[in-house]
Amino acid sequence: SQQGEEDPQALSIQEGENATMNCSYKTSINNLQWYRQNSGRGLVHLILIRSNEREKHSGRLRVTLDTSKKSSSLLITASRAADTASYFCATDAGSDYKLSFGAGTTVTVRA
C-alpha cells in the first residue's frame, strides 16, 4: 500500500507565486524525499529530509518535516513556468532502501 499521500491533488498558480503541497504518511520513516516528474519523463530527485531534521532548503525549495504529525510540506517560492510538473513525496521506512510513493500533486504554473 502507498505510504504517502499528497494534498492537494492539483494546484494552479500564477508565475511568481508560491506553491505549497503537503504529504502525509503512516509509519515511522528514515527519511522523506521529494521528486519531480515532467510530463512523459522519469522522476528527478529534488530534496531529502531525514527523520531528525525539521526543515531543509535547496534553492527555491523549502521542505519541512513534522514526525509527530507524520507530515511534510514542500514549498516552491517564486514559481516559474518550468516548475509545471507533478511532485511526489516518497518515504524510506525500512530495509533495502525501498521507497513508497504517494499519488502526487500536479502543479501548473500559468504565465
Partner 1 sequence: NAGVTQTPKFRVLKTGQSMTLLCAQDMNHEYMYWYRQDPGMGLRLIHYSVGEGTTAKGEVPDGYNVSRLKKQNFLLGLESAAPSQTSVYFCASRRPNGETQYFGPGTRLLVL
Spatial distance between the Cα atoms of 49 and 62, rounded to a whole number of angstroms:
10
| Minimum gap (Å) between residue 108 Cβ and partner 1 | 16
| Of 1, 14, 52, 68, the one binding partner 1 by CB under 8 A | 1
Q: Which is nearer to partner 1, 84 or 105 (CB)?
A: 105
Which residues in 18-47 contact partner 1 (CB under 8 A)?
A: 31, 33, 35, 40-45
Contacts of 2 (CB under 8 A, 6+ apart): 100, 101, 102, 103
Does 92 bind partner 1 (CB under 8 A)? Our answer is: yes
Spatial distance between the Cα atoms of 101 and 96, rounded to a whole number of angstroms:
15
CA 41 and chain centroid, separation: 17
| 31-13-79 Cα angle (round to 5) | 60
Q: Which is nearer to partner 1, 101 or 108 (CB)?
A: 101
Chain contacts with partner 1 (rule: CB under 8 A): 1-2, 4, 31, 33, 35, 40-45, 48, 88, 90, 92, 96-104
